[in-house]
Amino acid sequence: MPRQFEASKEKLEHYRAYLRLLARLQLDQRLQSKLDASDLVQETMVRAFGKLDQFRGDTDSEFVGWLRMILANTLKEKAREFATEKRDLGRERSLEARLEESSGRLEAFLVIDQSSPAHRASRQEDLMRLADALERLPEDQRRAVELRYLVNCKALEVAREMGRSEKAVGGLIARGLENLRKYLEDQDQA
The Cα 78–Cα 172 span in angstroms is 31
- Domain count along the chain: 2
Mark whether 107 and 24 lie in a shared domain. Answer: yes
Domain residue limits at 175: 137-190
The Cα 166–Cα 155 span in angstroms is 6
The string of pLDDT tens digits covering residues 10-61 is 888 889 999 999 888 887 666 666 788 889 999 999 999 998 888 888 888 8
In a domain, residue 129? The reply is no
In a domain, residue 124? The reply is no
The string of pLDDT tens digits covering residues 90-121 is 444 455 565 566 655 555 554 444 455 565 56
Q: What does each C-alpha distance from 8 to 1, 13, 53, 76, 125 come to in angstroms?
A: 12, 9, 10, 25, 17
